[in-house]
Chains A and B, each alone.
Chain A
Amino acid sequence: NAGVTQTPKFQVLKTGQSMTLQCAQDMNHNSMYWYRQDPGMGLRLIYYSASEGTTDKGEVPNGYNVSRLNKREFSLRLESAAPSQTSVYFCASWPRVYGLAHGRADTQYFGPGTRLTVL
């Protein structure tokens, strides 16, 4: 049981290049999330997927796209990277079932992060 895995761990891009960050979870969780972490800003939600086949924008979606490939995998794509996207990216999963009260006590499980630098 590996939990939440992310690849790559580190990446350096030039402005305008594209790349996809991969995330997978083996806990059979319904919901998955992509965050970015910047100094002094905490974690900000980029996109999330409440269940397989659905995706929704979070707080800072501009410049990103996502794909919920199946229940296990949730990828984040930067089509044309910009220096403002230099950040640490975290994927998370949550067992919570959308809209049900019993999910209130659940926690999100985080991956180890991808450190991205855009030059």
Chain B
Amino acid sequence: GDSVTQMEGPVTLSEEAFLTINCTYTATGYPSLFWYVQYPGEGLQLLLKATKADDKGSNKGFEATYRKETTSFHLEKGSVQVSDSAVYFCALSDQDTDKLIFGTGTRLQVFP
């Protein structure tokens, strides 16, 4: 079945450092890909999305490119802030189902 694999955390960075969180997927067909963010004590919020190969999703300085050849959707940010500290989830939705498949999440901790 479809699955999403994320790098394990926590990822610990200093403010203004470069961030990469790896995400790879396995799916039949052509899924849409998402990154969600969960701040402490809150539900998940959509951060960015891409619906087809080579699409780049971006929001709040974060970017991720849908790479079909490597089945990847890595999250990047050029300069992280303390306020970016959260748990980040990669997810895919299959075109034929009503379900999202989530990765296990990666905790990001940014220190001043």
**Contacts from A to B (Cβ < 8 Å):** 4, 31, 33, 40-45, 48, 50, 58, 90, 92, 94, 96, 98-99, 101, 104-105, 107-108, 110-113
Contact = CB atoms under 8 A, between A and B. Distances in A.
Contacts of A113: 42-43
B104 interface: yes
A105 B49 contact: yes
Given A44-B102, A92-B43, 16 more contacts: A33-B99, A40-B104, A42-B103, A45-B99, A50-B98, A94-B98, A98-B98, A99-B96, A104-B93, A107-B34, A107-B49, A110-B44, A111-B43, A112-B43, A113-B42, A113-B43
| Closest 6 A/B residue pairs (Cβ) | A110-B43, A42-B104, A107-B46, A110-B44, A43-B102, A42-B102
Contact of B99 (A40, A48, A104): A48
Contacts of B102: 42-44
Interface residues of B, number: 21
Interface of B: 32, 34, 41-46, 49, 51, 89, 93, 95-96, 98-100, 102-105
Given A42-B103, A42-B104, A110-B43, A104 B51 contact: yes
A31 B98 CA distance: 8
